[in-house]
Chains A and B, each alone.
Chain A
Amino acid sequence: MAVEAPPTPAGTLAPPRRRKIPPAVLLIAPSVVFMALLLGWPVIQGILQAFRDENGFTLDFVTRMVQDPYFWPAVRNTLLLIVVMIPLQFAFAIGMALMLRTNPRLHKVHFFVWAIPLALSDLAAGLVWLAIFNDRGYLNSALSLFGIEGGSWLAYDNQASMFMCVLIAELWRATSLVLIIVVAGLQGIPKDYDEAAQVFGATFWQRLRHVTLPLLKPSLQVALILRTILAFQTFAVAQALTGQNFPLVVGETYRWYTGLQNPNVAAALALVILVVSMLTSIFYLRALRDKNQGGLR
């Protein structure tokens, strides 16, 4: 059936009025105003706060931030956490999503249970894991049942075990976000591709590498950007587990703002997170860009 071209809008035939605001601008205006007030203004405020004192422009706050003995450990810890955690989270999430795809018994229950951490506040998650990892926590109790003497996992001088505790707690808490994105992405891929690969002799790993992961790339990109940015902001879990003993950048921001009552240095730290997050997103968008024009099919 032929579709008739829509009739010309009557408006274009009328004599042009003076300086009419285009409808597109009107439509987008509320979001622009909203973004400007709630995002743009605080960003500008933050920048001003970090670089200005009573006498105008200054780098004092940035210098103080960098010279603080906790700053570089915080940066190192944050980066280390990201580098170790993100690949693990993706491996877990993809593995779990592939297991769910085989439709095992009760797969909806599994999915629900695996998604629960997403509904938990990160501070609550931190407290749950504190109950597990502290000296008289569930982990040490369980170990003592087997006659093993537990350790002081969260002792201030044991960086490695503190890191492991924060890592495990964050893995538990935040992998479900990746899982949900990956599951949604997998559901969008027709099963035929995987079946075709099977019939043409591909092994499980070949199918994963040559068919599933490439087709999943758009979802992985979204998950990667979200997870990395959120990982830069890891705070409450580490705070609950280690207090100041395992400093992270956002934790430092918090300490400068509340403990040391210095909003200027806190703003400088917040800007560091903003810049790093932006650079990472740009890097991911470029690195994972679809060189092949056109989407699925």
Chain B
Amino acid sequence: MADIQISNLVKTYPGGSERATDDVSLQIQDGEFTVLLGPSGCGKTTLLRMIAGLELPDSGSIAIGGRDVTYLPPNKRNLSMVFQSYAVFPHRKVRYNIGFGLRMAKVPAEEIERKVQWAADLLQLGPYLDRLPANLSGGQRQRVAVARAIVMDADVLLMDEPLSNLDALLRLTFRSELKKIVQDLGTTTVYVTHDQSEALSLGDQVAVMRKGRIAQLGDPLDVYDAPADRFVGGFIGSPPMNFMDAAVSHDGGTLVLGEQQLMAPSILRSFAGRDVLLGVRAENVTVRNERSSGDVAATVLVVEPMGSTILLTVEVDGHTLKVQAPPTFRTAPHKTIWLGFAPNTMRVYDRETSMALEAK
């Protein structure tokens, strides 16, 4: 186990004009589970592959446990990794696959056998040890890939979208299983995904990446509640955060939303008179059929019952919003409903830079 220090990592692929990672720095504590999250092409996989040594950076450095590994080959880094395609060797039985890394390290046979058995029990692969990967289901192959990674006493465990090839139900069950296994192991883990719910549910810290840079790094709940910019708010959460143009009144006490007014969060006192971008999450809007004080009128466009909630698409002064209503709420398209905004759940952003505004 070890910490990871990534400093000013720059990588441009041959023939590419844009930087795949653009001066990325990241600290990962010993035993921490870090998720790299972002849309495709954001550089998250490149970053992971540089930690693994499968790609070499143009500049910058990577240290694992205080040792500079930037240009070391992968086999000298004491890593283990779960690949998106599983990369379970097709010509070898499950038993050999799980013990592969130990065998390469010339661990005594009986110890390999013991560890393989332990990992197989943990991942319920016991009955399949003498099968070939071709005779396993996708989910079982995925378990073999995870078992192969956890038998190594590696400093760092890397996972490259390990759940993306599983079907939705399996992904959900294996996700919590994976979390428990990694928690019990306590290995420093870097996990790449484009699925924001995976990132929120698994990570101790989440690094949201965009265009080769880390847009926000933090505790999953912080990243969810207080996105650092419009991109993060729009990428994380299902539905994504709502954004509306608004103006702060001259006394800083209210937000002007077209014709209507809202109570402003207290941090806006220092931004009196400015135009801002208001961000609010669907579940932080209270939906009512009767007007209550401070409410804003909205017209219902679409009603989507989701089972545990009802997702409403509504229009407020030309802005389209997604809001959540309890399953008992009854409304229909074209009806007018009333929305209540709690000032402390509102986030405000600069209209030009899209960055979060903080009280001065």
Residues of A within 8 A of B118 (CB): none
Measured in the bound complex, the distance between the Cα atoms of B89 and A217 in whole Å is: 14
Name the residue of chain A whose CB is nearest to the CB of B152: A200
User: Given the known A-B contacts A195-B83, A294-B134, A297-B90, are A200 and B104 also in contact in the complex, defined by CB atoms under 8 Å?
Assistant: yes
Q: Do A201 and B75 have beta carbons less than 8 Å apart?
A: yes
CB-contact partner of B91 in A190, A196, A202, A215, under 8 A: A215
Q: Do B79 and A215 have beta carbons less than 8 Å apart?
A: no
Interface CB pairs A-B, < 8 A, 29:
A190-B85, A192-B85, A192-B87, A195-B52, A195-B87, A196-B81, A196-B83, A197-B100, A197-B104, A198-B53, A198-B54, A199-B54, A199-B75, A199-B77, A200-B81, A200-B100, A200-B148, A201-B101, A203-B75, A210-B89, A214-B91, A215-B89, A215-B91, A292-B91, A292-B134, A294-B90, A296-B90, A297-B90, A297-B133
Given A197-B100, A217-B91, A292-B134, list of 6 further CB < 8 A pairs? A193-B87, A195-B87, A201-B152, A292-B91, A293-B132, A297-B90
CB distance from B91 to the nearest CB of A (A): 5
Q: Do A294 and B53 have beta carbons less than 8 Å apart?
A: no
CB-contact partner of B134 in A193, A199, A215, A295, under 8 A: A295
Q: Does A211 contact B (CB under 8 A)?
A: yes
Q: Does B273 contact A (CB under 8 A)?
A: no
Name the residue of chain A whose CB is nearest to the CB of B52: A199
Q: Do A215 and B90 have beta carbons less than 8 Å apart?
A: yes
Residues of A within 8 A of B158 (CB): 199
Q: Does B70 contact A (CB under 8 A)?
A: no
Measured in the bound complex, the distance between the Cα atoms of B103 and A211 in whole Å is: 13
CB distance from A198 to the nearest CB of B (A): 4
Q: Does B254 contact A (CB under 8 A)?
A: no
CB-contact partner of A202 in B104, B134, B152, under 8 A: B104
0/1 string, B99-114, CB within 8 A of A gives 1:
0110011000000000
Q: Do A193 and B89 have beta carbons less than 8 Å apart?
A: yes
Measured in the bound complex, the distance between the Cα atoms of B52 and A201 in whole Å is: 11
Interface residue total, chain B, C-beta cutoff 8 A = 29
Measured in the bound complex, the distance between the Cα atoms of B105 and A230 in whole Å is: 42
User: Given the known A-B contacts A198-B53, A297-B90, are A292 and B132 also in contact in the complex, defined by CB atoms under 8 Å?
Assistant: yes
Residues of B within 8 A of A296 (CB): 90
CB distance from A205 to the nearest CB of B (A): 11
0/1 string, A188-227, CB within 8 A of B gives 1:
0010110111111111001000110011010000000000
Within 8 A of A (CB), among B57-75: 73-75
Measured in the bound complex, the distance between the Cα atoms of B90 and A292 in whole Å is: 9
CB distance from A97 to the nearest CB of B (A): 19
Q: Do A198 and B91 have beta carbons less than 8 Å apart?
A: no
Q: Does B80 contact A (CB under 8 A)?
A: yes
CB distance from B217 to the nearest CB of A (A): 25
Name the residue of chain B whose CB is nearest to the CB of A215: B91
Measured in the bound complex, the distance between the Cα atoms of B78 and A199 in whole Å is: 8
CB distance from B71 to the nearest CB of A (A): 14
Residues of A within 8 A of B105 (CB): 201
CB distance from B83 to the nearest CB of A (A): 5
Q: Do A199 and B80 have beta carbons less than 8 Å apart?
A: yes
Name the residue of chain B whose CB is nearest to the CB of A217: B91
Within 8 A of B (CB), among A108-131: none
CB distance from B46 to the nearest CB of A (A): 14
CB-contact partner of A211 in B83, B89, B152, under 8 A: B89
Interface core residue of B74, B90, B91, B133 (most chain A CB under 10 Å):
B91
Q: Does B197 contact A (CB under 8 A)?
A: no
Q: Does B27 contact A (CB under 8 A)?
A: no
Q: Does B270 contact A (CB under 8 A)?
A: no
Measured in the bound complex, the distance between the Cα atoms of B148 and A197 in whole Å is: 11
Measured in the bound complex, the distance between the Cα atoms of B148 and A210 in whole Å is: 16
0/1 string, A163-182, CB within 8 A of B gives 1:
00000000000000000000
Q: Which 5 A-B pairs have the closest CB atoms?
A: A294-B134, A200-B101, A192-B87, A196-B87, A198-B74
Name the residue of chain B whose CB is nearest to the CB of A211: B89
Measured in the bound complex, the distance between the Cα atoms of B74 and A195 in whole Å is: 8
Residues of A within 8 A of B100 (CB): 197, 200, 202, 210
Q: Do A199 and B89 have beta carbons less than 8 Å apart?
A: no
Measured in the bound complex, the distance between the Cα atoms of B105 and A198 in whole Å is: 12
CB distance from B86 to the nearest CB of A (A): 8
0/1 string, A273-297, CB within 8 A of B gives 1:
0000000000000000000111111
Residues of A within 8 A of B73 (CB): 198
Residues of B within 8 A of A295 (CB): 90, 134
Residues of B within 8 A of A195 (CB): 52, 54, 74, 83, 87
Residues of B within 8 A of A203 (CB): 75, 104
CB distance from B88 to the nearest CB of A (A): 8
CB-contact partner of A294 in B74, B89, B135, under 8 A: B135
Measured in the bound complex, the distance between the Cα atoms of B104 and A295 in whole Å is: 24
Name the residue of chain A whose CB is nearest to the CB of B96: A210
CB distance from A70 to the nearest CB of B (A): 46
Q: Do A201 and B104 have beta carbons less than 8 Å apart?
A: yes
Q: Do A202 and B75 have beta carbons less than 8 Å apart?
A: yes
Q: Do B79 and A206 have beta carbons less than 8 Å apart?
A: no
CB distance from B14 to the nearest CB of A (A): 9
Name the residue of chain B whose CB is nearest to the CB of A194: B87
Q: Do B89 and A200 have beta carbons less than 8 Å apart?
A: no
CB distance from B309 to the nearest CB of A (A): 30
Measured in the bound complex, the distance between the Cα atoms of B90 and A197 in whole Å is: 13
Residues of A within 8 A of B78 (CB): 201
Residues of B within 8 A of A200 (CB): 75, 80-81, 100-101, 104, 148, 152
Name the residue of chain A whose CB is nearest to the CB of B49: A195
Measured in the bound complex, the distance between the Cα atoms of B83 and A257 in whole Å is: 62
CB distance from B146 to the nearest CB of A (A): 13
